[in-house]
Structure 1
């Protein structure tokens, strides 16, 4: 453990990444609640779904051009990195990481993939009562049936399981391993050794992120209105 005097406050998570994380968490919670309530709440459910698709597309782009530690190349683990991390956990050794640790990185990727499939299947779902996704008229009926079953039975369960595992892991690291993952995601900063690479988080980069978000929102609008 470095001496405290050798540590400094480093910007790890840029503001766009932090806002994305908060908005995604709120939107997913809203999706689960409105999906369970049904009825008139389904209108909000659809809007939240479009919002989640916008956020996921934004994160996929930001994973290439965002702040240093938000880029996929900085946190997606190689097999050897993952194996080394698992072995360190088995030996109860602490392997310090700056951004996402290897298991956390896999969790992020899994969440993005499941959310993407969940939203896309929702666009093609039809409950045969009063709610149908905007793509149901564009694909064969058997595709609609498959998408509907996945969206309401499989994808929903996968998403809830991932969310529970994610929250549980964060609490485990905070309580047991004394590694606070929550505060850095809220403030953006973390106490790290001198010379640690920081993430670009300037007004220009934030405006750039906003332009990407607007572009993703427009793309989702066009996708939703294909029919």
Structure 2
């Protein structure tokens, strides 16, 4: 995990590859639309887009091993000791180290968020509103299991909302207190880093497009076959 050297050695370099940035903002858009369609009762569209969310998360899991250096899980998933030390340093007088990619705490936040979204999108395939609308794969599980998954889906959204709220507050904390803008680099791809550093091999948009299409085909095709 790369940390930043003294200011004089810093330059703006390409850190986040295009597929990672597109994934991030597409997921933000889809989750926003999913929340609106879920709460307004537009369940047909809600379930259709839920499959897109599932495919997108599956893509990110694969991209975590095939993307560029900072998109890969190996670059930001560290041991609990590193996370605790970093968390303890956040409010220390000396301050905490800045990282080129995700910091140790942020790395685990990524995993938690992906896991919650995967749970939401996966459980949503087997839910029912107990009135009119059944999810496409609801018929594949016993009624009791479907009911439990529906409960998990309805309650899980609040856990996801809480994590998203923490994510937004953390971004504001870093911007206002730590003077570290985490949002802009996810738009431009560039972030302060050691002069001459690069994101390494990987991050090919063509490979990303192929992987995303494969994930979409797997999810939509699989659901269509199992209906």
TM over 0.5: yes
Query: In the aligned structure 2, how far is the partner of 1:121 from the partner of 1:213?
Result: 21
Q: Which residue of 2 aligns with 1:30?
A: 33
Residues 85, 62 of structure 1: CA spacing in aligned structure 2 closer, same or farther, 3 A cutoff? same
Quote the offset at 1:186 in angstroms.
0.4
* Range with greater deviation from structure 2 (154-163 or 211-220): 154-163
Residues 107, 3 of structure 1: CA spacing in aligned structure 2 closer, same or farther, 3 A cutoff? closer
Q: Which residue of 1 aligns with 2:220?
A: 221
Query: In the aligned structure 2, how far is the partner of 1:34 from the partner of 1:69?
Result: 33
Query: In the aligned structure 2, how far is the partner of 1:155 from the partner of 1:223?
Result: 24
Q: Which residue of 2 aligns with 1:48?
A: 49
Measured against aligned partners, the alpha-carbon deviations of 1:116-167 in whole angstroms (never above 9, x if no partner) come to 1111111000112221111111111110000111111x21111111111111
Q: Which residue of 2 aligns with 1:161?
A: 162
Q: Which residue of 1 aligns with 2:79?
A: 78
**Contact 1:124/1:144 (CA < 8 Å) preserved in 2?**
yes
Query: In the aligned structure 2, how far is the partner of 1:32 from the partner of 1:73?
Result: 31
Quote the offset at 1:80 in angstroms.
2.0
TM-score, normalised on structure 2? 0.93
2:193 partner SS: strand
RMSD: 1.5
**Contact 2:66/2:202 (CA < 8 Å) preserved in 1?**
no
Quote the offset at 1:196 in angstroms.
2.7
Q: In the alignment, which of 13, 18, 21 is matched to residue 18 of structure 1?
A: 21
Quote the offset at 1:65 in angstroms.
0.6
Residues 114, 3 of structure 1: CA spacing in aligned structure 2 closer, same or farther, 3 A cutoff? closer
Measured against aligned partners, the alpha-carbon deviations of 1:32-77 in whole angstroms (never above 9, x if no partner) come to 1111100xx2121112201100110000000001011000000012
* Range with greater deviation from structure 2 (127-136 or 90-99): 90-99
Q: In the alignment, which of 96, 99, 102 is matched to residue 98 of structure 2?
A: 96
Query: In the aligned structure 1, how far is the partner of 2:99 from the partner of 2:7?
Result: 17
Does residue 108 (structure 1) correspond to residue 110 (structure 2)? The answer is: yes
Q: Which residue of 1 aligns with 2:206?
A: 207
Quote the offset at 1:191 in angstroms.
2.1
2:11 partner SS: strand
Q: In the alignment, which of 138, 141, 152 is matched to residue 139 of structure 1?
A: 141
**Contact 1:11/1:199 (CA < 8 Å) preserved in 2?**
no
